[in-house]
């Protein structure tokens, strides 16, 4: 099915509008997510410092930190107070304590050495990353820092806090739904004005097409009228001017043809008009009577086939050869 230009303009405009609304929706959600990440990072910094202070009694003077039930209990208690997922990790990646893991399953927790935030903390003393927790299954913002004793220059273990982005994800989902509803209503409201504007833009073109079809059928009185003064109006004025010139030329040709026919009809001498190949274009009544032929019988046929007169054929051949 071929769409008219009006519907092509309408559909194109609505598609552009829909794409713009979708892009605006995603940008708004992304902006909210970035703001939440920045705020969560600031909260995580403060809570990490407090948890690190709370773990100071477990840092022995020898600089070692062992996985003990007391450490696990302290980590679980601090996690409840800080509202964060707390993990204590040895420098080789072994998990010494984890607030989300039971005591019996602690030994089975996989090595954390290759986690992005742990790699950064080992290298620089501090590391951050945002990814889905393999333990809790939630999207979590992590901050890992080195744990130093009072008289220790280098960290003996790593403290990692994870702040679940559950609230942020819920707010983002809510924002997506609200924006989808708002933009959907805005899109539906925009349909009627878009159709109206497309009609206003394309109606002059439709009028031009109708006028051109009338001209093709021989109606030279067709006129194109537009209510605007833009490029379409200029095109319409140009076509109207061309139509006037064409009508004038046709009238002139018709008058010349009438005069020629009147002249040929009134002549007593036989007259015929040939084209460059010797085919009959026109003969006058005098020639019809001379050879007892009609104009319809001769038109378009070679002169030699119509009249079959040797001297006339020779004369025609000579004239055409010297033309």
Query: Are 39 and 140 members of one domain?
Result: yes
Identify whether residues 19 and 162 lie together within a single domain: yes
Asked if residue 260 belongs to a domain, the reply is no
The pTM for the full model equals: 0.55
Domain end, chosen from 171, 204, 237, is at 171
- Do 289 and 317 lie in one domain? The reply is yes
**DSSP line for 108-175:** GSPP-TTSHHHHHHHHHSEEEEEEE-TTT-SEEEEEEEEE--TT-SS-SEEEEEEEE-HHHHHHHHHH
**Is there a single domain that holds both residue 247 and residue 272?**
no
**Is the model's pLDDT at 161 over the cut of 90?**
yes
Nearest-angstrom CA–CA distance, 284 and 264? 5
Q: What is the mean pLDDT of residues 289-296?
A: 82
For position 105, what pLDDT does the model report? Answer: 85
Percent of the chain with pLDDT over 90: 7
Residue 238: what pLDDT? 81
258 lies in a domain? Answer: no
Residues 278 and 314 in one domain: yes
Instruction: Say if residue 313 is in the same domain as residue 243.
Output: no
Is residue 177 domain-resident?
no
Q: Which residues contact 146 (CB under 8 A, 6 or more apart)?
A: 121, 125, 126, 154, 155, 157, 158, 159
Range of the domain at 232: 217-251
- Asked if residue 246 and residue 112 are part of one domain, the reply reads no
Identify whether residues 67 and 133 lie together within a single domain: yes
Domain boundary among 136, 171, 206: 171
Are residues 134 and 66 located together in one domain of the fold?
Answer: yes
- Does residue 202 lie within any of the structural domains? no
Of 138, 171, 204, the residue that ends a domain is: 171
Domain total in the chain? 3
Which tens digits make up the pLDDT trace of 260-287?
777 877 887 888 888 888 888 888 888 7
Q: Is residue 70 part of a domain?
A: yes
- CATH at residue 72: 3.30.450.20
Q: How far apart are CA 158 and CA 119, in angstroms?
A: 10
Q: Are residues 118 and 234 in the same domain?
A: no
Identify whether residues 161 and 13 lie together within a single domain: yes
Residue 257 is assigned to a structural domain of this protein = no
Out of 34-43, 193-202, 265-274, 291-300, give the one with best mean pLDDT: 34-43
User: 182 in a domain, yes or no?
Assistant: no
| 16 and 63, same domain (yes or no) | yes
Place of tokens 């107070």: 81
Tell me, yes or no, whether 201 lies in a domain. no
What tokens does 74 get?
């302290």
Q: For residue 294, name the pLDDT band (cuts at 50, 70, 90).
A: confident
């Amino acid at each position: 099915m071929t769409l008219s230009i009006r519907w092509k303009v309408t559909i194109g405009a609505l598609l552009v509008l829909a794409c713009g609304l979708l892009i605006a929706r995603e940008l708004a959600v992304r902006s909210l997510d970035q703001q939440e990440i920045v705020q969560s990072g600031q909260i995580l910094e403060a809570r990490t410092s407090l948890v690190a202070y709370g773990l100071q009694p477990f840092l022995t003077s020898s600089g070692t930190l062992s996985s003990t039930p007391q450490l696990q209990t302290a980590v679980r208690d601090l996690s409840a107070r800080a509202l964060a997922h707390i993990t204590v990790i040895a420098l080789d990646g072994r998990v010494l304590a984890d607030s989300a893991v039971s005591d019996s399953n602690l030994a089975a927790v996989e090595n954390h050495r290759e986690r992005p935030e742990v790699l950064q903390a080992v290298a620089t003393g501090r590391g951050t990353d945002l990814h889905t927790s393999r333990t809790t299954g939630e999207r979590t913002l992590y901050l890992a820092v080195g744990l130093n004793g009072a008289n220790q220059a280098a960290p003996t273990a790593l403290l990692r806090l994870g702040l679940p982005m559950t609230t942020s994800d819920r707010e983002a989902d809510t924002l997506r739904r609200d924006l989808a509803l708002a933009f959907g209503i805005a899109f539906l409201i925009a349909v009627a004005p878009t159709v109206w504007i497309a009609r206003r833009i394309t109606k002059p073109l439709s009028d031009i097409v109708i006028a051109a079809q009338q001209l093709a059928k021989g109606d030279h009185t067709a006129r194109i009228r537009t209510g605007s003064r833009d490029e379409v109006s200029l095109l319409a004025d140009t076509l109207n001017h061309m139509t006037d010139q064409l009508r004038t030329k046709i009238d002139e040709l018709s008058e010349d043809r009438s005069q020629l026919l009147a002249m040929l009809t009134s002549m007593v001498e036989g007259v015929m008009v040939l084209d460059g190949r010797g085919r009959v274009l026109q003969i006058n009544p005098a020639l019809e009577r001379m050879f007892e032929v009609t104009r319809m019988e001769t038109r378009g046929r070679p002169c030699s086939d119509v009249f079959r007169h040797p001297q006339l054929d020779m004369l025609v051949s000579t004239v055409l050869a010297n033309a």
